[in-house]
Amino acid sequence: MNSSDRRMKLLLMLQSGKRHLNVAELAERFRVSRRTIFRDLNALEAMDVPYSYDPDVGYRIDPAFNIPPMAFTQKELATILVGLSFVKSQVDQGMVDDANAVEEKIRSVVKNPDLKDWMNRLETHVVVDPYAVNQPQKIKGGNWLMIANAMVAKDVIRFRYKDEMREVSPYVVSYFTDHWTLIGHCHTRNAIRSFVLDRMSDVAASYAVFKPMKSDISELIFRREGVEQEVVVRVHPKAIPSFVRRLPSRIVRMETVEGHMVVRFRYDNLEYVNEWLLQFGANINILAPNDLKDIRSEYLAAIGRRV
């Protein structure tokens, strides 16, 4: 990182006001010497940046100070463009529109013509989710911004789902491979439930305040509503990276046996597990439970009869 980029980041960190920082913490953050941080602070002072120092809490910048127009490095712009490309690949039209609006604002603050040209060429050659072109049309639904605001404000929301009105305390919104899901306490069912955002309509805040959830986010995402069974599979090494990344459950245990990985996890729906495992073809061998083996045999037999 060059000195200009580092000083811009330092300025933004001190301006954020989230916490006061001392020279040692700043040097570790930027992986430079304390002397370099002192030089950077002197450079900010020469630019009339009103920072202050307290021996007990460290450095900070007056929150009233206005930072000059935003500047980006090529690496930062690349990160933003890839993130926006992901959002624009979603089926939710609202998210796509918002991503386009953000991109327009970013382009408006980039004044360097060479950097603008670089952005255009990068956007042309970086493709996120290319098969999304097969999606016939974007979907309007879910109102993810209202849901996000409700989560922050701890407001209960109301919406229509499967022709029924629901009242839900929204806890977390998570992306699962090809769709966004809201997880929260459904007051209509008096239980934790999941809702696909693009199937939600008429979303509105009720302004009834809910209490923070007792479980952490990972517990909500990996929760199961039925009786779990332990599943044991042998996975070919070449399939392990994709298997581990996509597995819709926590791994209980994973060990190497005769050159293959034996993976144990728990799930409450063996029919779903069977269909999920099929994507790995011959790279997966089911070891347990026997019920899952039977489901696999019957499934393949049914396919054979249709051929």
Q: What mean pLDDT comes out for the span 17-32?
A: 79
The average pLDDT across 195-217 equals: 85
Tell me how far apart the alpha carbons of residues 19 and 57 are, in angstroms, rounded to a whole number.
9
CA distance 160 to 201: 5
Q: What is the rounded CA–CA span in Å between residue 12 and residue 3?
A: 14
Provide the terminal-to-terminal Cα distance of the chain, rounded to the nearest Å: 60
Which DSSP helix (H) or strand (E) runs through 129? none
How many angstroms separate the CA atoms of 196 and 174, rounded? 10
Question: Could you report the per-residue pLDDT of 144-158, keeping only the tens digit for each?
Answer: 778 888 988 899 999
Q: How many Cα atoms occupy the beta-carbon half-sphere of 194 within 13 Å?
A: 14
**The pLDDT of residue 18 is above 60:** no
DSSP 281: G
Topology of the domain comprising 3-61? Arc Repressor Mutant, subunit A (1.10.10)
Q: Where are the alpha helices (DSSP H) in the chain?
A: 3-16, 23-30, 34-46, 74-88, 93-109, 113-125, 144-153, 217-221, 240-246, 270-277, 290-306
The pLDDT-based confidence of 64 (bands split at 50, 70, 90) is: low
> What pTM, to 2 d.p., does this model score?
0.62
Q: What is the CATH T-level fold of the domain 229-306, as seen in this structure?
A: Alpha-Beta Plaits (3.30.70)
Which pLDDT belongs to residue 169? 94
The Cα-based distances of 190 to 184, 224, 237 in angstroms read 10, 16, 43
pLDDT single digits (tens) 72-111: 778 888 888 888 888 887 767 777 888 888 888 888 777 7
Mind listing the pLDDT tens digit for each residue in 258-293?
999 999 999 999 999 999 999 999 999 999 999 999
Residues shown for the chain:
307
Cis peptide, bond prior to residue 289, ω within 30 of zero: yes
Q: Say which CATH architecture domain 144-221 belongs to.
A: Roll (2.30)
Place of tokens 């099929």: 278
How many whole angstroms separate alpha carbon 302 and alpha carbon 93? 39
